[in-house]
Amino acid sequence: MIDVLPPKRRQAPLQKRSEETVERILLSAEMLICQVPLDFVTAGRIAKAAGISIGSLYRFFGDKQAVFDALARRHLKQLRERLESRVLRPLEHSQERKDAGFNQFEFLENVIDTYVSYLEENEPFRALSLGPRGSVGAMARHVSPIAGLPGVLKSFLMERMRVPHNLELELRMQVFGEAGERLIAFAFEQKTSEARHRVVQEMKDMLTGYLFVRKQ
């Protein structure tokens, strides 16, 4: 009689190899994004950099856009974790003190600063977020790296600050997201970090006034 290993034992090594292959694909894509313009990063180039065949890449990703989407989701998760640890938790802790008020302008500025610093530190995410709109245009809006910033703000205002959801809030978040996307891209087009930070400060002044001050 020939002993046959149960499926779980056979699948474990296979699953581990698959996870390692996916990780190699994503790391290779990030490396290429840092070396060449986004439009020149092809599925073939990613596969070659990962040391696998193009067919192996297509086992896990339908095309290069799917690889970009996976990278964006990974960075968006890391960005949310950073916002949670650096902005939201400290704010919640301060709110536990009865004498602590909620400075909505400081809160939004901290969110924007955290987002900008993450872009500065992560070139692949910056390329995916701020590159040609066509490069990430196929990405669903709910996983877009840009959608992450207003998404975090919206969930915080509704779930933690108990701000009721309504059509006005929805519209303001959409306008905030569109304006923020273009202004952050403009900031990173500046030739010096000083010029970039000046644009970011102007953006913060404009967006905080828009989001939190009701028009008369």
Q: In this structure, are residues 154 and 174 in contact, taking their beta carbons and an 8 Å threshold?
A: no
- Element housing 20 (H / E): helix 7-35
**Segments of the chain with pLDDT less than 70:** 1-13, 95, 97-101, 131-152, 156, 159-162, 213-216
What's residue 181's pLDDT?
82
- pLDDT given at position 134: 37
Q: What is the pLDDT of residue 100?
A: 62
pLDDT single digits (tens) 2-17: 444 444 444 455 788 8
Give Dmax over CA atoms of the chain in angstroms. Answer: 85
pLDDT tens, position by position, 52-98: 999 999 999 999 999 999 998 899 889 888 988 888 788 777 767 66
pLDDT on residue 152: 66
- For residue 191, the 8-state DSSP code is S
Distance CA 202, CA 183 (A): 9
Q: Measured between alpha carbons, how far is 43 from 35 in angstroms, rounded to an integer?
A: 15
* Nearest partner of 151 among 117, 177, 183, 125, judged by Cα: 177
Q: What is the distance, to the nearest Å, from the Cα of residue 122 to the centroid of all Cα atoms in its chain? A: 10
Token match 């779980």: residue?
8
Q: Quickly count: other Cβ atoms within 10 Å of residue 142's Cβ.
A: 10
CB under 8 Å to 39, separation ≥6 — which residues? Answer: 132, 135
What single-letter DSSP state applies at residue 143?
Answer: G
DSSP 188: H
The pLDDT, as a whole number, for residue 160 is 64
- What percent of the chain clears pLDDT 70, i.e. is strictly above it? 75
The DSSP 8-state label assigned to residue 147 in this structure reads T
Q: What is the pLDDT of residue 122?
A: 94
Global model pTM greater than 0.75? yes
Give the contacts of 158 (CB within 8 A, at least 6 positions apart).
Answer: 164, 165, 169
